[in-house]
Structure 1
Amino acid sequence: MSDFNTEFWSVYVAGLTVVSIVACLLLLWITARGKTPSATADNTTGHVWDDDLREMNNPMPRWWMWLFVITIVFSLLYLVAYPGLGSYQGELRWTTRGEYDAEVQQANKELAPLYAQFTARKTEDLAGDANAMAIGERLFMNNCAQCHGSDARGSKSFPNLADADWLYGGSPDKIRETITQGRKGLMPPMAAAVGTPEDVRNVAHYVLSLSNGPHDSVRAQLGKTKFTACAACHGMDGKGNQAMGAPNLTDDVWLHGWGEQAIVNMITAGKANEMPAQAGKLTDAQIHVLATYVWSLGNKPAPAKP
C-alpha cells in the first residue's frame, strides 16, 4: 500500500474493509434470528412462483452459519497478520517484494555451483563454451531483449549489440561495467551554442559529410566552423569519445535516426538515454556470463577445448 500519496486513501480503504466485515456480521445476525413471521400454516412464506413453487420458511442451516462465522474470523486474523487495511503492514510484515527477494536468493544459492565453474574463466575462453553461452542467452532474453531485441540488434534509440560500434567501449571489462553500473547518456540541446536555425542545418550537413552520407557540400563547409560547439564531446574529427559515451559521427551508425531532420532535431532538442544498472538484479557471476555472451555477439570466439 505504499502507493497511497495521502493518508485519506489509507483510512478510506481500511474503513471500507472494516465496514464490509461488520455488514457480513449484521447479515448473519439477521438470518440467525429464526423463522420469519408467516401468513400461512404450511410453513411457507407465502411467495409462489409458476403456480406451484413455494418458498419454505426454514431458518438458515447451522453448518452454513458456522462456515460463515469461520470465514469472518479468518478474515480478521488475516488482516491482523498481512497487509489489507490501508497502509497497515500487518504483524508478519509480509510483502510481495520480500517474497520475490527470498525466492531469488534461494534460486541464486542453488545455482551458485553452476556459475562457479564460469567465474574463474576469461571472457575470451568462456565465449567458446556452448553451455555458458546458452545460459548467457537466457539471461539476455530475460533482462536485455526487451530493449535490444531478441537478436540483440536493437532499434531506434536502443544500441545494436551485435556490431562492432560501442558508445562506451566493447572490451569485456567495459561491457561488464556497463551492465553492472548502467549508463546515463545525455546530449544537451546545442542550438543556442551553434547559432541560428540555418547554422544548425549547416552543421547537420557537415555531420552527414563526415560519414560520406548525402549532403549539401556548401552547407557542410559553412557548418564546419560551427561544429566547434560539438567538438568538446565528439572531437574535432567527429570520432567521438568513449569515455563520455559521445558517438562516433564518422561511421554509418545512427542510434536516434539518420538524415538532416533527425540531426537537426538532435541538435535542437538534445536527447537523454538510460541503460539501467543490473547490479542489484543479477549476481556478479551472472553478469560475467551475460557480458561474455554480449561480447561474443560482435566477436568470433574460439571453440572451447574438449
Structure 2
Amino acid sequence: MSNAWSWYVIFLVVLNIGGCAWLLMWTARRRPGDPKPEDTSHIWDGDITEYNKPLPKWWINLFYLTILFSIGYLVWYPGFGNFAGTSGWTSAGEHDLEKARRDAQLEETFGVYADRPFAQLAGDPAAMELGRSIFANTCAACHGSSAQGAPGYPNLTDDTWNWGGEPAQILATVLDGREGVMPPLGTVMQGIGGDVSITQAAAYVRALRTDDIEATLRNDYMAARGKKYFDSLCVACHGPEGKGNQDLGAPDLTVRNTLYPNTLDSIRKTIVDGRHGSMPAHRDLLGETRARLVAAYVWSLSNSGGTEAPPGMP
C-alpha cells in the first residue's frame, strides 16, 4: 500500500471512530430547556405515549467499551494504514500456518501410500478411492468425471497415449505437466501448393486412420496426392508411417481415438492454425504421494485386468 493510500485509510479510521464517540456524547447529554422525558406530548389512541428518555448508563458505557476495543484491535492487528500491528499477524502468515496444519493431516492420511508401486496401489481399493477422489477434484474439469476426455482433452480410459502410458510416464505427466504444440502450417502449405494442398494433406491424414491405407490411397485421389506433403512436412514429428513420437507428444495419426474430431474440416484447421495443448504441472499442488495415487488411478483405468507391474514400473 502506498503512503497516500495509507494516510487515506488512517483518515477514514480516525474519522469513523472519532465520529462515533462524538455522536454518542452529543446525543447522551441533556441540555437546559430540554423537555422532561414524559413531556413530548406525543400520544396515540389515548394511552400510547412516546417518551424521550436517555439510554441507560450501562448501555452508554457498553458503546464506549466497544470504541476502546476497536482502538485496541487496531493496535494489535493491522488495519491502521501501513501500521502492521504489534502482534505481527498477517493473513499470509495465517494461511501458511493453516496450510502447514492441513499438510500434516494430509501427510498422515497419504503417507502410508508413499513410494508404493502402481500395481499395489491399483489393487488397493482404499488407495483407488483416494485416487478417484483426487482425480474428481483436480482432473475431472478437463478430462471429465468418467475420464473419457473431450475435444482437445485426452481420453484416459483407452490405450492411446500421446506422451506414453507407462507408469513412469503418467507420473511424470501429473507431476511436471506437458506442453504439446502443433505448429501452424497454413502459410507454408499455401506457398507450396495453395489451399488444395491443405485439403490433400488432410485427406491423407484421414486415410492413415483407415483399415487398409494402400487400398484407400488407390481409390482416393486427394489422399494419394496429400502423401507428398505429409512426407515433406509432418514425418519429422509423426514419423514416416504417422505413428507419432511419444517423446515429443506427437500423436499417433493411425488410431481412431483422436484428440480432435476425425473430420476433414477439423484436420484442415489443425494443419492451418496448429494446436496447443497444455497439461499443467501438479507437483506443487499435490505433492509426490497424492500425484502417485492419482497417476495410479489413471493407469488403472486402462490396465484394470493386470495385477503384475510391467518392467520398470515405479
**Length-normalised TM-score, structure 2:** 0.80
The reply on whether 1:94 has 2:98 as its aligned counterpart is no
Give the one of 165, 168, 171 matched to 1:176.
171
Deviations 1:266-293 (A, max 9, x none): 2222222221111111121222222111
Show the counterpart of 2:285.
Answer: 281
SS at match of 1:283: helix
- The 5 Å alignment of 1:1-306 reads 16=12, 19-34=15-30, 38=34, 40=35, 43-45=38-40, 53-82=48-77, 84=79, 92-95=88-91, 98-195=93-190, 196-212=194-210, 217-227=220-230, 228-302=232-306
Aligned CA distance change for structure 1 residues 286 and 26 (closer, same or farther; 3 Å): same
Q: Report the TM-score when normalising by structure 1.
A: 0.81
Structure 2: any 5+ residue segments left out of the alignment? Answer: 309-314
Equivalent position SS for 1:293? helix
Q: Once the 2 structures are TM-superposed, how far is the Cα of residue 169 of structure 1 from its aligned partner?
A: 0.7
Cα deviation for residue 234 of structure 1 reads: 1.8
1:25-68 C-alpha deviation (Å, 9 max, x unpaired): 34323323336954x55644455667865542222333333333
1:248–1:14 distance in 2 versus 1, CA, 3 Å? farther
Structure 1 equivalent of residue 312 of structure 2:
none
CA deviation after TM superposition for structure 1 residue 84, in Å:
4.7
Preserved CA contact (<8 Å) 2:37 2:53: no
User: Aligned equivalents of 2:260 and 2:74: distance in 1?
Assistant: 51
Which one scores higher on RCO, CA 8 angstroms, separation ≥ 6?
2
Q: Distance in 2 between matches of 1:235 and 1:88?
A: 64
Higher mean C-alpha deviation, range 43-52 or range 189-198: 43-52
Cα distance change of structure 1 residues 125 and 193 upon mapping to structure 2, 3 Å threshold = same
The higher radius of gyration belongs to 2
Q: Provide closer, same or farther for how the CA distance between residues 53 and 294 of structure 1 changes in structure 2, counting only shifts above 3 A.
A: same
Amino acid at match of 1:211: R
Q: C-alpha root-mean-square deviation of aligned residues, in Å?
A: 3.3
SS in 2 for 1:241: coil
Runs of at least 5 residues in structure 1 that lack an aligned partner in the other structure? none
How many Å apart are 1:80 and its aligned residue?
A: 4.8
Please give the alpha-carbon distance, in whole angstroms, between the structure 1 residues aligned to 2:81 and 2:144. 40
SS at match of 1:274: strand
Shift of 1:222: 2.2
Work out the CA distance in 2 between the residues paired with 1:36 and 1:267. Answer: 91
Summarize the Cα distance change of 1:271–1:42 in structure 2 as closer, same or farther, 3 Å threshold. same
| C-alpha distance 88-272 of structure 1, shift in aligned 2 (>3 A) | farther
What is the rounded CA distance, in whole Å, between the counterparts of 2:75 and 2:269 in structure 1?
A: 56
Alpha-carbon offset, residue 246 of structure 1: 1.2
Higher helix share: 2
* Residues 107-152 of structure 1 deviation map (CA, whole Å, 9 limit, x = unaligned): 3323435434322432123211112111111111222122212211
Deviations 1:248-283 (A, max 9, x none): 111112223331111222222222222111111112
Check the 8 A contact 1:201/1:264 in 2, yes or no. Answer: yes
